[in-house]
Amino acid sequence: MSQETLADAAHVSSGYLSKLERGLYKSPSFEVLSRIARALGLQTIELYRAAGIEHLLDSIDPKLEPLMETFTPKLEDLPKRDRDLILSEIHRVFREEEEGR
């Protein structure tokens, strides 16, 4: 798959993909990597492992990942600010539930 084809399928710029491939982004967002993984036909965790950045998954709650994988594609058409707000709210609600609030 060409970089342009992957960029189109993942809704990112080819410039972003190029910089990501060259290691210029040390902590790419879970949302972007999820879109790239989907475009490649992979689960997000597989992409993290293949890229050698599975250590970044430490900040992601494994119980929440399947839920986030479900919501991320449905939010793609929203502006980034709105997506980030919704995803952070999902994280907050999940944390509160875990704490028994």
The 10s digit of each residue's pLDDT in 5-35 is 999 999 899 999 999 888 888 777 888 888 8
Residue 54 phi/psi, 5° resolution?
Answer: -60, -20
How many of the other CB atoms lie within 10 Å of CB of 33? 22
Q: Are 64 and 94 in contact (CB under 8 A)?
A: yes
Report the range of poorest mean pLDDT among 25-39, 50-64, 68-82: 50-64
Q: What is the pTM of this model?
A: 0.60
Length of the chain: 101
Q: Are the beta carbons of 72 and 81 closer than 8 angstroms?
A: no
Residue 19 phi/psi, 5-degree rounding, is -65, -35
